[in-house]
Chain A
Amino acid sequence: MNDASAAVSLIDTSEQTEYYEWVRKFALSLPDDTRERDSRSIFSREAWEKCGRLGIQGLPAPEEYGGGGAGVVTTMVALEALGYGCKDNGLVFSINAHLWTSVIPIWRFGTEEQKVRWLPGLCSGSLIGCHGITEPDAGSDAFSMKASARRVDGGFLLNGQKTFITNAPVADLLIIFARTNEGIGPFGISAFLVEGGTKGCSTSRGIDKMGLRTSPMSEVVLNDCFVDESSVLGRLGRGGEIFQESMRWERACIMASQVGVMQRTMERCIDYARHRRQFGKTIGQFESVADKIANMKISIDASRALVRTAGTRMDEGEEATVEAAVAKAFVSEAALRTQLDAIQIHGGYGYTTEFELERSLRDAVGGTIYSGTSEIQRRIIARSLGL
């Protein structure tokens, strides 16, 4: 069990198991300075670039644009290994955000010119991407956004305010969603490629968060930001479809990293329970402790199976919207329970920042909120059941 490769051997090909080991070893070699950076909310561009050189940021994108050409399940295997080995959950979260909100939309909806211009840099990690959907009054109800894109000579003028934008403070490319006409529901919303530093597009104050503090986040303010016609991503008024595609990938894949984090946490708990002695025996000999760890094992195996099921369906060409929603809701909540139990097992030590378990708990809380809250996932699931 302590051999992490065993974590994936049941359902992966030998190639994927080797890949898992490769990424895991790389991730374990990343600088162990997360605790210090977390306390000051500092993003590591250096670690980001190292991941880029390994090809993490371009995993599923086609090789012709600098990507890895990996299938969905293989991508999940790599992200699980990264989650296992890299203690900087904020960095892993930023990489996920970059993949699903920038790489995927440009690959799936971009023109040849847009792909050639942006994908190689995004895939190599030399560029950082993000997307701007959420607004102060449009969270789960994202399509009620008010940001506007008014057609002017040669392009569009973007105006509005976006909030909770992961990666925005360090982004070289922002995909901004704004209304081009009234439309109904998700229609009338268009997506625009906005280069970082474009006049009229600025990030305001950084947003201080409970967890994932090494992943930078801020508001984005658009004030008569001009973009030309070639900046439109996909069809005009059809940004909703781009957003849905982003969310489909994100919900399916982002929890793969959490499975790795849970595996790492469980192994720490096993090690601690085997060595920590109280009342004359190791604490692992107490059923109340052993049961918590057994529950972690159940959660991890179930989480991995759900994530891979969504990935397999996607590799088969299916949308897997419901499978992704099931995986997202289950894994995010299982991760939260796992991290909370890990602190309980470690007692007072677990409560200290030095043991770095409280950070993983803070990081895990975000999982039930980002990429659609657990409530939204259940709405998608219920809808599929005719409810």
Chain B
Amino acid sequence: MVAVELAERRILEFIKSEIVLDGVGESLTPDSQLLNGIVDSLGLMQLVAFLEEEFEIEVDDADISKEHFSTVGDISRLVGSKIG
């Protein structure tokens, strides 16, 4: 659980600082819908590369789905399942 919370914080920080538009990042929460224009295709590639490097995990082809990448919360749970 702690791992998921830590992951959530780091992922949120990364998206706010590296991916989202100025202004949008301020209101971003773990439940914000990322795939509705907040994270574009380039951002998604940056995000997956970040996850693999930061958490030393391998994100498989099948993992990259709406189920696992719609919100920061979803992504954190995916990361948690891989490092847990």
- Asked if B61 and A184 make an inter-chain contact with CB atoms under 8 angstroms apart, the answer reads no
Q: Chain A residues near B65: list those with CB within 8 A.
A: 182-184
Known: A386-B21, A386-B22. A186 touches B44 (CB 8 A): yes
Residue from A188, A244, A387 in contact with B45 in the complex, judged by beta carbons closer than 8 Å: A244
Q: By the criterion CB–CB under 8 Å, are A237 and B61 in contact? A: yes
> In the complex the two chains form, what is the Cα distance from A184 to B67 in whole Å?
10
Question: In this assembly, does A209 line the interface, its C-beta being within 8 Å of a C-beta of chain B?
Answer: no
With beta carbons under 8 angstroms apart, the residue of B22, B42, B45, B61 that contacts A235 is: B61
Q: Are A143 and B42 in contact (CB under 8 A)?
A: no
A373-387 contacts to B (CB < 8 Å): 380, 383, 386-387
Query: Do A181 and B61 touch across chains, with their CB atoms under 8 A apart?
Result: yes
Task: How many A-B residue pairs have C-beta atoms within 8 angstroms? Tell me.
Answer: 47
Contact B21 A187 (CB under 8 A): no
The reply to whether A240 and B45 contact each other, CB–CB distance below 8 Å, is: yes
- The CA-CA distance from A183 to B44 in the complex, in Å, is 11
Q: Of A187, A190, A380, which contacts B64 at CB under 8 A? A: A187
Give the CA-CA distance A186 to B22 in the complex, in Å: 24
CA gap between A244 and B69 in the complex, in Å: 21
B41 touches A143 (CB 8 A): yes
Which residues between 36 and 84 of chain B lie within 8 Å of chain A, taking CB atoms? 40-42, 44-45, 48-49, 60-62, 64-66, 69
Interface residues of A (CB under 8 A from B): 143, 180-188, 190, 235-238, 240-241, 244, 380, 383, 386-387
Closest 7 A-B residue pairs measured CB to CB?
A237-B61, A185-B41, A187-B64, A386-B22, A185-B44, A186-B41, A236-B61
